[in-house]
Copies of this chain bind each other. A is one copy, B any other.
Amino acid sequence: MDPNTIEELRGRLRHLEDESAITRLIMSYGPAADAGLTSFAGHLWLENGAYDWDANGTPHQGSAGVDAMLQSDGHQNLIAAGIGHFAGPLLIDLDGDSATAVNYSLIMRCEGDRFYLWRVSAVRWYLARVNSRWKVRIRTNRLLDETGAGRELFGDTLTELFVEAAT
């Protein structure tokens, strides 16, 4: 059997498996944040990773910082009142043991007998494979509001990934 053929097939499989593993990583965050599984959610990040959650906020530092934010009264009050930290489908760009993903984050809050869209953000995920497991290195959220912060994040990321790559 031709070892090159086997290597080709294994490489293509690994690429698809990486996309699946990254999807699994990112789609775990919202349900864990909503449920208050703070340590589990924090450990989706690298110890020295970051969650840069808003243009006007201080990034949460590493898995411990994300865990602490989720344990805070602010977050606990939100989940007690009813909230969904929804993540949209991913646009993934793999590069060996690193990857970039782009999606939308919608935070929906309960209000009487309906829900409302509180925050709608552009999100960029920088991911890394460490000890065979994908982890979040830096998650950056920017609101898609009149400040243009979300537009800029989407624009910069797509330009880096696709527009420049194609030229």
The chain A residues found within 8 Å of chain B, CB to CB, are 1-2, 5-6, 9-10, 12-13, 16-17, 19-20, 23-24, 27-28, 30-32, 34-37, 40, 79-84, 86-92, 102-104, 106, 108, 110, 114-120, 122, 143-148, 150-152, 154-155, 157-159, 162-163
Q: Which residues of B contact A37 (CB under 8 A)?
A: 155, 158-159, 163
Q: Which residues of B contact A10 (CB under 8 A)?
A: 9
Which of these, B31, B40, B88, B116, contacts A102 with CB under 8 Å? B31
Which of these, B12, B28, B35, B91, contacts A91 with CB under 8 Å? B28
Q: Which residues of B contact A148 (CB under 8 A)?
A: 80
Known: A82-B146, A108-B117, A120-B110. A151 touches B34 (CB 8 A): yes
Instruction: Determine whether the beta carbon of A79 is less than 8 Å from that of B151.
Output: yes
Q: Which residues of B contact A81 (CB under 8 A)?
A: 146
Q: In the docked arrangement, what's the CA distance between A46 and B143, Å? A: 31
Q: In the docked arrangement, what's the CA distance between A53 and B43, Å? A: 32
- Counting chain B CB atoms within 10 Å of each CB, which of A5, A32, A81, A104 scores highest? A104
Instruction: Determine whether the beta carbon of B30 is less than 8 Å from that of A104.
Output: yes
CB pairs A–B below 8 angstroms (29 shown): A1-B1, A1-B5, A9-B13, A13-B16, A24-B91, A24-B92, A27-B103, A28-B162, A31-B102, A32-B158, A34-B144, A37-B159, A40-B163, A82-B143, A82-B147, A82-B150, A84-B120, A84-B122, A86-B104, A87-B88, A87-B89, A108-B117, A108-B120, A108-B144, A110-B144, A114-B117, A115-B117, A115-B119, A115-B144
Which of these, B2, B90, B117, B159, contacts A117 with CB under 8 Å? B117
